[in-house]
Amino acid sequence: MFEWFLLNNISYLVHILFIIGLVGSIIIKFVKRFSYIAKFAAPLFYILFLAGVYLEGNLNGTSNYLKAVAAFNEKIKEAEGKSKEVNERIKTVYVDRVQIIKEKGKDNVKYIEKVVTKYDNMCTLSNAAIGVHNSASQNEVARSTTGTDEGASDVKISELLKTINDNYSIYYQTREQVIAWQTWYNEQKKIFESVK
């Protein structure tokens, strides 16, 4: 119980200690110089006064530090709020753009199924053309292998175009993701650099 009282009222105790030391030191000056009480009380009051001055300074420094910490924490809360707003805005823009890309890809697939499939029998793809496409999708150079590159492929032009459409759709979705990450990073950096 006493420790709780001490911890919660330490500033009052420091003030009281300082006042007792100050008042006691002044009173000792007016008491007869060679008085028996003055000889023993004077050092005690001087020690209390010096301890009070030290603790008052320490208390003032701590108080200023705590105020600075509280102000900094307030800036951090404000920055976190701005950060959440940026996150939501960027997420919304990213999701909207990706949705548009997916819809365009679906529309292209519908077009391929409606129009291009009519020409599947008219257009024959060679194994070499399919090999080049497959190599390009793996970021490799097409290699000629005797026998496998010759002749017509069983792959229809509509199937190849659907694959190409899917690849481009994934590319543009990934591009939007990279743009969103770059925007997010730059805006978050500005927000948290302003906290310093």
The H helix count followed by the E strand count for the chain is 5, 0
Tokens 């800036």 appear where? 75
- pLDDT tens digit sequence for 22-72: 777 777 766 665 566 666 776 777 777 777 777 777 766 666 777 788 888
Q: Are 194 and 83 in contact (CB under 8 A)?
A: no
- pLDDT tens digit sequence for 129-146: 888 888 888 888 887 665
- pLDDT tens digit sequence for 159-187: 999 999 999 999 999 999 999 999 999 99
DSSP code for 31: S
Burial of 129 per CB tally in 10 Å (0-12, 13-18, 19+): middle
Which two tokens mark 101?
């890309």
Please state, in angstroms and rounded to a whole number, the distance separating the CA atoms of residues 194 and 85.
Answer: 16
The residue among 165, 64, 59 whose CA lies nearest residue 109 is 165
